[in-house]
């Protein structure tokens, strides 16, 4: 019975925290010259990590064998949210843009852009000479960066419209 109450309390707290995090995400401040994933992913990942730690402490203190999978599930949820937040960051200025993907930093010039592959719900892939940079539809300032990159690409190449590349399936 004690384990059921603990699980119910954890679910209610998670629900309350996630609803609060959704309100925070609605007010996520757009920073100039930066594309990143929404902070809600960071906050949710940290909350799930705290629930994971509290579940582990509870299991170690009470020795409840029927809850042994709860910290594993909460830890996996936490890892997914934190990896989602850290997967993409783009900073840009008039000369170049810098992309951090999974912790690796690469710099590109606007003249190296070859086109854009449109995706679903505002997502897109920016194609450069050397790589393809996917920008998720959830990314804060992703659409602003695409418009800015197109303007800078026009300055470098003299052409008016960034080519749209059809992705083969």
Question: Is the domain of 62 the same as that of 99?
Answer: no
pLDDT at residue 23, as a whole number: 67
Task: Tell me if 31 is assigned to some domain.
Answer: yes
- Using the 3D structure, point to which of 53, 86, 119 is the last residue of a domain: 86
Contact between 35 and 142 (Cβ < 8 Å): yes
Q: CA-CA distance, 39 to 62, in Å (whole number)?
A: 35
Per residue in 65-75, pLDDT (tens digit) is 777 788 888 88
Per residue in 57-106, pLDDT (tens digit) is 888 888 777 777 888 888 888 999 999 898 889 999 999 999 998 889 99
The whole model's pTM is what?
0.74
Task: Tell me if 167 is assigned to some domain.
Answer: no
Q: CA-CA distance, 80 to 45, in Å (whole number)?
A: 7
Question: Is the domain of 48 the same as that of 116?
Answer: no
Which residues 6+ apart lie within 8 Å of 135 measured at CB? 35, 88, 90, 123, 124, 125, 126, 142, 145, 146
Task: Tell me if 163 is assigned to some domain.
Answer: no
Question: Is the domain of 8 the same as that of 81?
Answer: yes
């Amino acid at each position: 019975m004690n384990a059921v109450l603990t699980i119910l309390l954890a679910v209610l707290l998670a629900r309350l925290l996630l609803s609060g995090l959704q309100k925070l995400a609605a007010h996520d401040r757009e920073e100039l010259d930066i594309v990143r994933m929404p902070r809600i992913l960071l906050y949710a990942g940290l909350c799930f990590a705290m629930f994971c730690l509290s579940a582990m402490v509870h299991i170690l203190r009470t020795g409840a064998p029927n809850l042994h999978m709860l910290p594993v599930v909460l830890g996996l949820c936490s890892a997914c949210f934190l990896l989602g937040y850290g997967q993409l960051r783009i900073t840009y200025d008039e000369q170049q843009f810098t992309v951090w993907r999974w912790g690796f930093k690469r710099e590109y010039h606007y003249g190296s852009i070859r086109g854009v592959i449109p995706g679903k719900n505002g997502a897109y892939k920016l194609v450069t000479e050397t790589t393809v940079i996917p920008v998720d539809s959830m990314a804060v300032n992703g659409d602003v960066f695409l418009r800015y990159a197109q303007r800078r690409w026009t300055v470098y190449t003299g052409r008016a419209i960034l080519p749209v590349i059809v992705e083969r399936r």
